[in-house]
């Protein structure tokens, strides 16, 4: 691959990575982890959605003594819904998050290796030559 094409591909990958919106990715991982998506189409759910900080996964204390905690994620912007799950769903979600981080780190390492493999010779500044006046 010629040098120009490598630069274009690398630049495109960097720009695409910068434009990725993490919210749909988070919601996709929540769904894959088994969280149920509940549209906030009742007054109770709409009030709960408005009370939550947007796009943050929170643990709510159980309503009944001895019941497991409930994990809730609210999206007031795109789907106007709540994602609700239990401890097993939360653990699966955390595994997806770790897998995603590993994949991102591997992609960054591959891009750095590609960048290091490029011949940057024509962009290297010329050597600096210092000519000191001779002593007399």
* Residue whose entry in the numeric block shows the structure tokens 């434009």: 19
Query: In this structure, are residues 27 and 35 in contact, taking their beta carbons and an 8 Å threshold?
Result: no
Question: Could you say which DSSP state residue 65 is in?
Answer: T
Tens digit of pLDDT at every position of the chain (136 positions): 455 555 555 555 554 454 445 567 899 999 999 999 999 999 999 999 999 999 999 999 888 888 999 999 999 998 999 999 999 999 999 999 999 999 888 988 888 887 777 766 666 666 777 777 766 5
pLDDT at position 115: 74
Instruction: Give the pairing of strands 70-75 and 57-60.
Output: antiparallel
pLDDT at position 110: 85
Sheet with 81-85, edge to edge strand ranges: 36-39, 81-85, 70-75, 57-60
């Amino acid at each position: 691959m010629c040098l120009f094409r490598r630069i274009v591909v690398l630049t495109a990958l960097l720009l695409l990575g910068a434009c990725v919106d993490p919210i749909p990715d988070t919601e996709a991982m929540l769904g894959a982890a088994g969280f149920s998506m509940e549209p906030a189409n009742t007054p109770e759910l709409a009030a709960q959605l408005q009370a939550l900080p947007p796009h943050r996964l929170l643990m709510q204390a159980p309503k009944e003594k001895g019941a497991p905690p409930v994990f809730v994620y609210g999206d007031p912007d795109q789907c106007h819904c709540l994602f609700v799950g239990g401890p097993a769903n939360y653990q699966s979600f955390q595994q997806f998050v770790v897998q995603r981080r590993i994949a991102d780190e591997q992609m960054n390492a591959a891009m750095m290796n590609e960048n290091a493999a490029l011949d940057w010779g024509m962009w290297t500044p010329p050597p600096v030559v210092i000519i000191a006046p001779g002593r007399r």
